[in-house]
Structure 1
Amino acid sequence: MSDTHITVLATGGTIAGMAGSALRHDYRPGQIGIDEFLEQVAKLELGLAFTGKQIANIGSEDISPPVWTRLHAECESAMADPDCAGIIITHGTDTVEETAFLLDLTLASTKPVVLVGAMRPADAVGYDGLRNFANAARAASDPGAAGRGVLVVMGDRVFAARDVRKARTRGTDAFRGFPRGSIALVTPAALDWFGAPWRLGEGATFTYREDLPEVVILPVFAGITPDYVDRLCGEATRGIVVAGVGEGNMPQAVRQRLATLASAGIAVVRASRTDEGLVDREPEDSANGFVTARALNPQKARILLQLLVADGVSQPSAMQEAFDRR
């Protein structure tokens, strides 16, 4: 066994799911515990020592701030352990991009942190979980992975947390990156980075907080009216991310209602509901007090806005600077 130790934090998902039949489409995520899973990994003879810890065993649609809090604490503990060379987090694919982005913003980039999942449950024909895990182990044990922020490994590709998104509901090639594509190709035997690390020696961008403020996502659709905004927002709402059509667009009446809320101190960020949406500023954004999400999709924009509001950032110009740096 190698002296290289990898900490594995398990949260469930399809990679730990079972269908009860190799041919069934439906299945239950989070059925295999980390100890049983690592017994299967041991048969791969990856030449690494794994220490597993069960954080949760759920479908990632049920991921919540309490799970994030424990996961973040365990990541920090593993990073402080001199015997730990890297961290792998097994995770459901539905919200893996949100967990990865939150950790990317709130962890120092000193050791590799790699999230991995599967598109098929463990007893399905063509189960991809073990190969994805072996690929994640290759990345997490590679010193060159440090300084690249939190990573997601799926389908023989490595993605940065900032870029990764689930693009398909079926098939093992379900993830892609925007605005960058994948940042490396990986197999259990090889790893090829496409560029140099960009976060060497960087600490966490934000302090992790358990009490993130309420930020809602407003989906824009044909026929939406301003009263929909009022029904979505409550007294506790501190921010709104608009999942706009096209380049973050919305009907003029909705825009005017959001401008009124922005003038009252509620942060408003324009993002796009399109899969590859780059949202630039428009001349009226300054007058309306709006921020643009740039290349972040609505769910990632929501996390960044929560952290900004929690840090006391209230001016749209300062928020825009933070989004421009992502």
Structure 2
Amino acid sequence: MTTKLTVLATGGTIAGIAGSAITPGYRSGEIGIEDYLEKVGGLGLEAELSGKQIANIDSADIGPMVWTPLHQAAQAALADPACQGVIVTHGTDTLEETAFLLDQTLPADKPVVVVGAMRPADAVGYDGLRNFANAVRVASDPDAAGRGVLVVMGDRIFAARDVYKVRTRGTEAFRGFPRESVGLVTPASLEWFGAPWRTGAGAAFGWPKSFPGVAIVYAYAGLDGADLNRQVSDTTRGIVLAGVGEGNMPDGVRQELARLASRGVCVIRASRADEGLVDREDEDDANGFVAARALNPQKARILLQLLLAAGESDPATIQRAFDMR
């Protein structure tokens, strides 16, 4: 039986055009979803694809104005009994953030797969067609359900919680942490490395009416409290520190963040390291800080926004939410 999948397009390099097969520059989001589905129609994919254009932009421009209609369209598709899975085409620069946000706000009863490309559609070695064919393979597999939102890039399948971009060039541009890939896929084969872990799970969060202001502050040698405060406004409700090492920071910054935490600003200690596991430290209770655990700064920001939008402000409650991810 042919699988019926809904493709939600947002643009990015996978829909980009360079105008030359070898030029380094290109324009993201040039191919519309109908043209793209016609292009992939010749691949012989064993799925019935229907598409909807949500946006057609560079993923650097992705934010709530695109996330909201994307989420609405994904929810509608998942609620349709005729739809057996959803594929989201997306630029790679912020792909991990959109995937994580959808993972936290969609049920896990049907496959949702986010896919992109590192080369535009008219470039030598365009990876988009293979990545898309792989995404169709994953979204068509009943065993993809119960795993939350998945990301397919370079023949690897990643969980949204783990995936992050590690390279600006080349087709093997994504890795996972703390888990590496959760499966391998080609257009002709699929292998999972474990059983589904979210079977029967609903959405962890409802969709927020608005996204609270949360700043990411990048730690570096010489950062001080004045530098920190230049990045914080009166509307800032949370701060994620991309700390050095295991979420560390200069002492002056620690003192200023503790002062802000005492005034009700939620402070998350994350790490600027690629594989940055941040555990709680003895001073976190006194300072009012939360440890990001395995979430990188950009994902920690999204989780904090969802928690704040849901009315959570207690550091201990927020810490438990991070511990569960």
Q: TM tier, shorter chain?
A: over 0.9
- The offset of 1:64, in angstroms, is 1.3
- The offset of 1:312, in angstroms, is 1.2
Q: For each residue in 1:110-155, what CA deviation from the matched residue of structure 2 results, as whole angstroms up to 9, or x when unmatched? A: 1100000000000100000000000000000100000000000000
- The offset of 1:228, in angstroms, is 1.3
**Distance between the aligned counterparts of 2:190 and 2:46, measured in 1?**
16
Secondary structure of the structure 2 residue equivalent to 1:268: strand
Q: Structure 1 segments of 4 or more deviating over 3 A?
A: none
TM-score normalised over the length of structure 2: 0.99
Residue 53 of structure 2 is aligned to residue 54 of structure 1: yes
Contact 2:208 2:310 in 1 (8 A): no
Secondary structure of the structure 2 residue equivalent to 1:232: coil
Q: For each residue in 1:210-267, what CA deviation from the matched residue of structure 2 results, as whole angstroms up to 9, or x when unmatched? A: 3010000011111111011211111110000000011111000000000000010000
**Distance between the aligned counterparts of 1:276 and 1:148, measured in 2?**
22
Secondary structure of the structure 1 residue equivalent to 2:52: strand
Q: How does 1:255-270 map to 2 (within 5 A)?
A: 255-270=254-269
Equivalent residue for 2:206? 207
Equivalent residue for 2:226? 227
- The offset of 1:180, in angstroms, is 0.1
**Distance between the aligned counterparts of 1:47 and 1:229, measured in 2?**
53
Secondary structure of the structure 2 residue equivalent to 1:24: coil
Q: Which amino acid aligns with 1:58?
A: I
Q: How does 1:268-307 map to 2 (within 5 A)?
A: 268-307=267-306
Equivalent residue for 1:69? 68
Equivalent residue for 2:235? 236
Contact 1:166 1:175 in 2 (8 A): yes
Q: Matched residue pairs, number?
A: 325
**Distance between the aligned counterparts of 2:72 and 2:312, measured in 1?**
25
**Distance between the aligned counterparts of 1:210 and 1:191, measured in 2?**
38
Equivalent residue for 1:99? 98
Residue 23 of structure 2 is aligned to residue 6 of structure 1: no
Contact 2:13 2:92 in 1 (8 A): yes
Secondary structure of the structure 1 residue equivalent to 2:230: helix
Q: How does 1:68-147 map to 2 (within 5 A)?
A: 68-147=67-146
**Distance between the aligned counterparts of 1:4 and 1:174, measured in 2?**
29
**Distance between the aligned counterparts of 2:288 and 2:29, measured in 1?**
43
Contact 1:277 1:295 in 2 (8 A): yes
**Distance between the aligned counterparts of 1:212 and 1:175, measured in 2?**
27
- The offset of 1:98, in angstroms, is 0.2
Q: Calculate the aligned-residue CA RMSD, in Å.
A: 0.6
Equivalent residue for 1:324? 323
Equivalent residue for 1:22? 21
Q: Which amino acid aligns with 2:227?
A: Y
Contact 1:66 1:210 in 2 (8 A): no
Identity %: 68
**Distance between the aligned counterparts of 2:273 and 2:228, measured in 1?**
20
Equivalent residue for 2:197? 198
Contact 1:72 1:103 in 2 (8 A): yes
TM-score normalised over the length of structure 1: 0.99
Residue 127 of structure 2 is aligned to residue 167 of structure 1: no
- The offset of 1:80, in angstroms, is 0.8
Q: For each residue in 1:16-57, what CA deviation from the matched residue of structure 2 results, as whole angstroms up to 9, or x when unmatched? A: 001110011111100000011101110001121000000000
- The offset of 1:322, in angstroms, is 0.3
Contact 2:5 2:139 in 1 (8 A): yes
Q: Which amino acid aligns with 2:280?
A: R
**Distance between the aligned counterparts of 1:7 and 1:191, measured in 2?**
20
**Distance between the aligned counterparts of 1:300 and 1:180, measured in 2?**
15
**Distance between the aligned counterparts of 2:82 and 2:50, measured in 1?**
11
**Distance between the aligned counterparts of 1:122 and 1:310, measured in 2?**
38
Contact 1:65 1:210 in 2 (8 A): no
Q: For each residue in 1:264-323, what CA deviation from the matched residue of structure 2 results, as whole angstroms up to 9, or x when unmatched? A: 000000000011100011100110000000010000000000011111111111111000
Secondary structure of the structure 2 residue equivalent to 1:237: coil
